[in-house]
Structure 1
Amino acid sequence: MKNLTLPAAVLLALAAGGAQAATGGQISFTGHVMEDTCEVSVNGGGADASINLPSISTSDFDTVGSTAGEQRFTIALNGCTVGQTYKVDFASANVNPTTGNLAFNGEAMSMSGIELQIANEELEAIDLRTNANNVSKPMDEAGPLEFAYYARYVQTSELVSPGTADTALLYSIRYD
């Protein structure tokens, strides 16, 4: 009997020693404390908007790159931190990777040779792949800080055919 208890006691001691030999680890925590959120409005309404583009004729286009049907819209910021610089960034799954314009979707896909171009307040086309020609503005006073943009049809190929215009664009506000 004594011979069986001794090996069992040795095994228990080794097992307990193994549990004591385990090492600890590190737990890291990350977070972010943000400034108060700005109030955003598109064309004086809420943060979401629908922009109605004018009806135009295919004869309004005469060459690749020509534009027609310009429609102004604004994105205004209120209640943002004074002294920060703000920028509107655009993104969409509908951005044509070749032109940087918005392609039309749904029933509008029957239309060809035309895309939607977004331009800044100086009427310079914004490349939606990179947001090139999009402007930053400082918040000098309590607001509102207004960004003016233009949506317009742009001819992208020699042959233009009519159809319905339908596309969407997401935006986010970034500050430095």
Structure 2
Amino acid sequence: MTAFIACLKHLSIAVALATITTGAFAKWNDCTAPLPMNIDLPSVAIPAGLASGEVIPGARASFTVPINCTVDPGEGAWSMTLSSGSLSPLPGLPDVFTATGLRGAIGFRIRDARGTPMLPINYNGALDTFQFDPARQGANIVQGSFELVKLGDAVVGTFGFSTGLHVPNLEWANNGDEASSTLSFSYTITGTAVPTCSVTTVDVAVSLPMVSVSAFTNVGATAGTTPFGILLDCASDAEPSIGLTDATSPSNQSNVLTLAPGSTAAGLGVQVLYQMQPLPLGSASYVYAGERDAPATRVTSLGPRSGATSIALEARYIQTATSVSPGTLKAVATFNLSYN
């Protein structure tokens, strides 16, 4: 096998919120989903010196809503509409919005499952709806993330709003009822300015060694472990945590990076390790899925850091299929830092 290159890029992470407004309709009532669901960012601390328009590190949550329908709803896509009030776009930030219920000089951005920022569509004469994938009979998945964006001086407190999940003019996501089909979003601004770190090495390329296919004898076998580091400059007593996102498949929540386009090998993936443990992947610090009341976390604490410091990491091949084909491997991840 020829050399594998894994690129890591620094990405500030933040969190956004979702929306829904609809009238009564009930052509169908056959769909069920683990709703209502509350997406909460329990403690948002804004780093000192964070510029207006920047995402707030650690203030991002992803959501996954499985919906099962026994009837084909026909044409239409799953949509989130603000339950009350309206969305307000922000000059110079075309994909960032404020909404009724949001305060504290905070805006939000919605991303789809691929990590692409979403813009609202016109529904019943108002731009207050985010449209996801087409609805269909059987299993459906509504998946995305929201992130918070600093707009000005923060106001301490708890804020939020609700949305409804539906196929416009056809049916609600859960039991044909608006009240049973809500996604609620909330966050708490602590007012504490936390110490942070700046990244000295923004892009890192890691070349893994050439390894024989014979080294991979079963799924889960690993080889080619290679150390590398990410250099930071931290304020005194900063407490960063690191999160990784699979750039090829942002919704990937395993601990194995998928192969990027251009790879010719097969049956393998790449893991990134910290203190000999694979780092979990995810597009957000908090992950809400299914009927889980509390979110899963996808970040790993790096402990207290001060001054110039390095995050000591490793990358390695891992077998993901029973058959392995030789060739070139490439995987790409983005990393983000959040703070306690």
Distance apart, 1:150 and its partner CA? 0.9
State the distance in 2 between where 1:155 and 1:81 align: 40
- Structure 1 segment 1-176 matched on structure 2, within 5 A: 30=105, 31-32=152-153, 38-41=197-200, 46-78=201-233, 80-95=234-249, 97=252, 99-108=254-263, 110-121=264-275, 123-129=276-282, 132=298, 134-139=300-305, 142-176=306-340
Which amino acid letter does the alignment assign opposite residue 303 of structure 2?
K
Contact 1:107 1:163 in 2 (8 A): no
Distance apart, 1:68 and its partner CA? 0.5
TM-score, normalized by length of structure 2? 0.37
State the distance in 2 between where 1:112 and 1:60 align: 14
Contact 2:247 2:334 in 1 (8 A): no
Aligned CA distance change for structure 1 residues 48 and 134 (closer, same or farther; 3 Å): same
Q: Which protein is richer in strand relative to its size?
A: 2
The 3-state SS of whatever aligns with 1:52 is strand
RMSD (Å) for aligned C-alpha atoms? 2.6
Contact 1:58 1:161 in 2 (8 A): yes
The 3-state SS of whatever aligns with 1:118 is strand
TM-score, normalized by length of structure 1? 0.68
State the distance in 2 between where 1:58 and 1:91 align: 27
Contact 2:195 2:236 in 1 (8 A): no
Structure 2 runs not aligned, ≥5 long: 1-102, 106-151, 155-192, 283-295
State the distance in 2 between where 1:52 and 1:88 align: 21
In structure 2, the partner of 1:22 is none
Aligned CA distance change for structure 1 residues 57 and 84 (closer, same or farther; 3 Å): same
Contact 2:239 2:304 in 1 (8 A): yes
Aligned CA distance change for structure 1 residues 75 and 98 (closer, same or farther; 3 Å): closer
Identity of aligned residues (%): 27
- What number of residue pairs does the alignment pair up? 140
Structure 1 runs not aligned, ≥5 long: 1-27
State the distance in 1 between where 2:226 and 2:331 align: 15
Aligned CA distance change for structure 1 residues 145 and 32 (closer, same or farther; 3 Å): farther
Contact 1:72 1:150 in 2 (8 A): yes
The 3-state SS of whatever aligns with 2:277 is coil
Which amino acid letter does the alignment assign opposite residue 166 of structure 1?
K
**Ranges of 4+ aligned residues in structure 1 off by more than 4 Å:** 32-37, 130-133
Deviations 1:31-62 (A, max 9, x none): 24767863323xxxx31121111111111112
